[in-house]
């Protein structure tokens, strides 16, 4: 078992292949967090916790006037409320008598095989190759009978611990949750830790910020109803000297697609607390007697091999334990072309067939029909929500159009944006009450559209029926699921005024039910997520979508930073990336090299391309297939940091058995008559010899030479030149 309980010591030790997470039933039944780090023997790490009389720190009443025991200075596994701990907390309960109090103490526990699941929320799953055990540890408030079950599933070989919390009202009166985090973790000493996050904005998602912990509350949040372009529901804590290859690093990825918060506090004694979960702004959730409330799951990982070790843990896990679609590993994903930048809203069936026919010579295997094919949709002012084929545009009908595309030897994909509605639409005219709009106030428009109240079952049922009817009407191979605005005007006409604090979370639960009813019922369709680009690119979405559109910004040099930040936890095979006509000064070959750090495709008008450009694209498409397995499933290494003033940006994928590697280098700032630049490789077998083509000749070098000496990059080249080096081990 990967989870061991010592009845003697009252300790729980959760062991992955190279790490230990330990907690303990401590004084007065409070559960203490003891340790998370490199594997330890069967020790009780409670010896690390020292107790002192801390001035102005309260003591539990039943501590019998023991002034050295205060929750304000104790590392806890899940916090109490109003029990003398003044740090950021995990839970805020408003009891039936109006009081705010939760005094959770150990009640019971059980350990079993397999991973936990949650009601209405996605979780990771165990494969047949995984050893997974789960601990359920119940805390109870003796007065209110509110129980919190702490859930831990240990994926031993994967180095992942999945956590969540379940609130159960075992009392006889209604309670209200005004804050409930998915987890709490306390570190005894955090003053030498840095907080790493992935902030951004539309078109510049998942940039990287690293800041030292200071004696403040550091809060990373989205209040936009979606996980957002501005923040990603992921943080890491790293030692001050931790780099890509060395040092301790902890990753925390929240499996949630709505408004979230992550808060880290370095307290007065240099202890560090981190909590993460649903954003508590405008959140108030009633839990009736006998009912449960489940929090989203968090995927935690620990690495003593720096940021790269953390990333590898996430990449491997995301490729195997999030999404059961055959398109994740078993079926090669086709090279696609999207019609948006070629036609926008102005197209018909004839134009689409022309695009497909021209793109076929580029090595494109699938055409995706984007926005504008349904309802009365000639611009972004109308039609959204009317999921019926517009036969004024698709004159031959969708079934026949797909057949014509298939006859060209190409697959067919289609775009949807189900969660939004236009005011000029049949759906809005029939059901204006389905829209989120606060009574007596005008709703905020964004991209000229309003938000459907997806938390309502009748809205969910409508969308499931309408989208499925389209998908079942033709041989559709791929769906792009978009959402092009943040969520405002939180209000549901289906709930009374005193329950509007449920709306934001109910929206997310409703979305997951819709996806269960569409994505999970169409295993032969490949689904890609999109939110105005990467505005809802999160771990929960990857349980439904094989891949996610990384950004609407297709400028290749911008994508160097975007892919770098995304790679901290998301694997290459999850990141949608295309070649477009943006940045004409960048060669097509370089655009393709950057797009291959993703799922690869095209965003351009194939009917206007020159023969030379079409041949170049065909070569790029062939290259994508040639290195598909290595690129998608190899161990990914960041060889340089594009946020630093560098002349080269480089990355590498290495086969799991170290038999081959693919190295990509982009020149971004070579100066005239400057020094020679080298790229040192990583992850190779130092004792094996590798063969590579270099500057028109074949070189055979040892792994140790390539990792310690590196590859000298030619200097006298045009700006934004790309180099792709394929290395194969000599047998």
CATH of the domain at 676: 2.60.40.1180
Q: Residue 525: its pLDDT value, please?
A: 98
Q: Residue 51: its pLDDT value, please?
A: 87
Dist CA 263 CA 97 (whole Å): 29
Average pLDDT across the chain, whole number = 97
Dist CA 156 CA 232 (whole Å): 26
Residue 518 has phi, psi (to 5 degrees) of -115, -60
Q: Residue 140: its pLDDT value, please?
A: 98
Q: Residue 186: its pLDDT value, please?
A: 98
Residue 177: is its pLDDT beyond 80? yes
- Say whether 41 sits in a helix, a strand or coil: coil
439, 484: one domain: yes
Q: Where is the domain boundary, 633, 651, 666?
A: 633
385, 500: one domain: yes
8 A C-beta contact, residue 615 and residue 638: no
8 A C-beta contact, residue 297 and residue 182: yes
DSSP one-letter code for 481: E
Dist CA 613 CA 630 (whole Å): 26
394, 429: one domain: yes
Dist CA 348 CA 25 (whole Å): 67
Q: Residue 332: its pLDDT value, please?
A: 97
Q: Residue 151: its pLDDT value, please?
A: 98
8 A C-beta contact, residue 510 and residue 460: yes
Residue 671: is its pLDDT beyond 90? no
Residue 526: closest CA among 596, 595, 479: 479
Dist CA 451 CA 440 (whole Å): 17
Q: Check if 426 is active-site.
A: no
Give me the CATH number covering residue 377: 3.20.20.70
308, 332: one domain: no
DSSP letters, 326-392, are HHHHTSPPPPEEESHHHHTT---HHHHHHHHHHHHTTT--EEEE-S-SBTT-SSTTB-TT--SB-TT
The token pair that represents 577 in the structure block: 């990336």
117, 137: one domain: yes
Q: Residue 52: its pLDDT value, please?
A: 86
Dist CA 511 CA 610 (whole Å): 43
Dist CA 389 CA 376 (whole Å): 9
Count of C-beta atoms within a 10 Å radius of residue 499 = 15
Predicted TM-score (pTM) of the model is: 0.98
Q: Where is the domain boundary, 617, 633, 649?
A: 633
Residue 65: is its pLDDT beyond 80? no
List, for residues 132-154, the tens digit of each pLDDT value: 999 999 999 999 999 999 999 99
Range of the domain at 542: 326-633
The token pair that represents 201 in the structure block: 């904005």
Q: Check if 482 is active-site.
A: yes
Dist CA 465 CA 459 (whole Å): 10
Element (H, E) at 623: helix 611-626
618, 552: one domain: yes
Q: Residue 695: its pLDDT value, please?
A: 87
Spell out a b/e string for 401-440, using b for 16 or more CB atoms within 10 Å of the CB, else e: bbebbeeeebbbbbbbbbbbbbbbbebbeebeebbbbeee
Dist CA 107 CA 8 (whole Å): 17
Dist CA 568 CA 303 (whole Å): 13
Residue 188: closest CA among 44, 71, 34: 34
Residue 217: closest CA among 31, 352, 87: 87
The token pair that represents 219 in the structure block: 């809060």
Residue 516: is its pLDDT beyond 90? yes
644, 594: one domain: no
487, 590: one domain: yes
List, for residues 537-573, the tens digit of each pLDDT value: 999 999 999 999 999 999 999 999 999 999 999 999 9
DSSP one-letter code for 531: B
Q: Residue 327: its pLDDT value, please?
A: 98
Residue 619 has phi, psi (to 5 degrees) of -65, -40
Specify whether the backbone of 137 is left (phi greater than 0), alpha (psi in -120 to 50) or beta: beta
Dist CA 695 CA 585 (whole Å): 23
Band (pLDDT 50/70/90 cuts) for residue 67 is: confident
List, for residues 471-486, the tens digit of each pLDDT value: 999 999 999 999 999 9
Q: Among the options 482, 538, 605, 685, which is catalytic?
A: 482
* Number of domains the chain is built from: 3
Q: Strands 175-187 and 272-278, how do they pair?
A: antiparallel
Give me the CATH number covering residue 292: 2.70.98.60
DSSP one-letter code for 581: S
601, 588: one domain: yes
Element (H, E) at 141: strand 132-141
Q: Residue 297: its pLDDT value, please?
A: 99
The tally of CA atoms less than 13 A away on the side-chain side of residue 291 is 11
Q: Among the options 130, 453, 538, 552, which is catalytic?
A: 552
Dist CA 540 CA 251 (whole Å): 16
457, 390: one domain: yes
222, 346: one domain: no
Q: Where is the domain boundary, 254, 286, 321?
A: 321
128, 273: one domain: yes
């Amino acid at each position: 078992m990967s989870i061991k309980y010592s009845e003697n010591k009252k300790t729980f030790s959760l062991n992955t292949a190279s790490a230990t997470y330990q907690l303990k039933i401590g004084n007065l039944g409070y559960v203490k967090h003891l340790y998370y780090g490199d594997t330890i023997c069967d020790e009780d790490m409670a010896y690390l916790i020292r107790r002192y009389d801390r001035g102005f720190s309260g003591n539990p009443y039943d501590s019998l006037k023991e002034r050295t025991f205060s929750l304000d200075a104790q590392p806890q596994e899940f916090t109490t409320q109003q029990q003398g701990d003044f740090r950021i907390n995990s839970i805020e309960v408003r009891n039936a008598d109006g009081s705010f109090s939760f005094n959770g103490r150990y009640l019971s526990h059980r350990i079993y095989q397999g991973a936990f699941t949650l009601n209405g929320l996605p979780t990771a799953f165990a494969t047949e190759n995984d050893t997974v055990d789960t601990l359920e540890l119940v805390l109870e408030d003796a007065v209110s009978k509110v129980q919190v079950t702490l859930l831990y599933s240990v994926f031993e070989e994967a180095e992942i611990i999945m956590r969540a919390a379940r609130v159960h009202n075992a009392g006889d009166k209604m309670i209200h949750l005004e804050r409930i985090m998915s987890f709490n973790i306390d570190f005894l000493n955090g003053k030498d830790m840095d907080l790493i996050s992935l902030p951004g904005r539309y078109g510049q998602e998942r940039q990287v910020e690293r800041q030292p912990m200071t004696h403040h509350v550091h809060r990373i949040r989205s209040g936009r109803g979606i996980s957002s372009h501005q923040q990603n529901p992921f943080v890491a804590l790293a030692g001050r000297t931790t780099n890509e290859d060395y040092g301790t690093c902890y990753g925390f990825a929240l499996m949630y697609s709505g408004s979230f918060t992550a808060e880290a506090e370095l307290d007065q004694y240099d202890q560090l607390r981190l909590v993460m979960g649903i954003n508590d702004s405008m959140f108030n959730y009633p839990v009736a007697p006998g009912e449960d409330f489940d929090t989203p799951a968090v995927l935690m990982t620990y690495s003593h091999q720096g940021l790269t070790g953390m990333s590898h843990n996430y990449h491997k896990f995301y490729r195997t334990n999030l999404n059961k679609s055959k398109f994740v590993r078993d079926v090669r994903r086709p090279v696609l072309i999207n019609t948006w930048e070629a036609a926008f809203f102005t197209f018909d069936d004839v134009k689409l067939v022309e695009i497909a026919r021209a793109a076929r010579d580029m090595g494109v295997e699938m055409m995706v029909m984007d926005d504008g094919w349904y309802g009365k949709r000639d611009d972004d002012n109308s039609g959204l929500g009317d999921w019926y084929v517009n036969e004024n545009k698709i004159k031959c009908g969708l079934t026949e159009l797909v057949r014509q595309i298939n006859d060209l030897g190409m697959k067919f994909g289609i775009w949807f944006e189900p969660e939004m509605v236009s005011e000029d639409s049949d759906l809005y005219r029939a059901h204006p009450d389905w829209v989120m709009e606060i009574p007596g106030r005008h709703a905020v428009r964004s991209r000229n559209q309003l938000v459907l109240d997806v938390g309502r079952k009748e809205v969910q049922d409508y969308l499931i029926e309408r989208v499925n009817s389209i998908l079942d009407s033709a041989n559709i191979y791929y769906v792009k699921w978009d959402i092009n605005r943040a969520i405002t005007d939180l209000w549901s006409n289906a709930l009374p005024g005193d329950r509007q604090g449920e709306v934001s979370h109910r929206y997310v639960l409703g979305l997951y039910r819709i996806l269960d009813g569409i994505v999970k019922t169409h295993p032969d369709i490949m689904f890609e997520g999109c939110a105005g680009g990467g505005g809802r690119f999160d771990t929960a979405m990857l349980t439904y979508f094989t891949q996610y559109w990384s950004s609407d910004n297709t400028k290749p040099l911008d994508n160097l930073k975007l892919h770098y930040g995304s790679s901290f936890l998301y694997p290459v095979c999850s990141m949608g990336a295309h070649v477009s006509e943006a940045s004409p000064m960048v060669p097509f070959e370089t655009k393709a090299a950057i797009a291959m750090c993703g799922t690869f495709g095209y965003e351009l008008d194939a009917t206007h391309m020159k023969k030379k450009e079409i041949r170049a694209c065909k070569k790029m498409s062939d290259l994508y297939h040639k290195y598909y397995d290595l690129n998608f499933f190899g161990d990914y290494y960041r060889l340089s940091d594009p946020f630093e003033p560098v002349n080269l940006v480089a990355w590498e994928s290495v086969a799991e058995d170290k038999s081959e590697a693919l190295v990509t280098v982009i020149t971004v700032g070579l100066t005239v008559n400057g020094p020679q630049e080298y790229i040192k490789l990583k992850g190779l077998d130092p004792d094996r010899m590798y063969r590579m083509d270099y500057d028109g000749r074949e070189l055979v070098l040892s792994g140790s030479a390539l990792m310690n000496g590196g590859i000298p990059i030619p200097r006298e080249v045009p700006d934004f030149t790309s180099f792709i080096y394929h290395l194969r081990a000599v047998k």
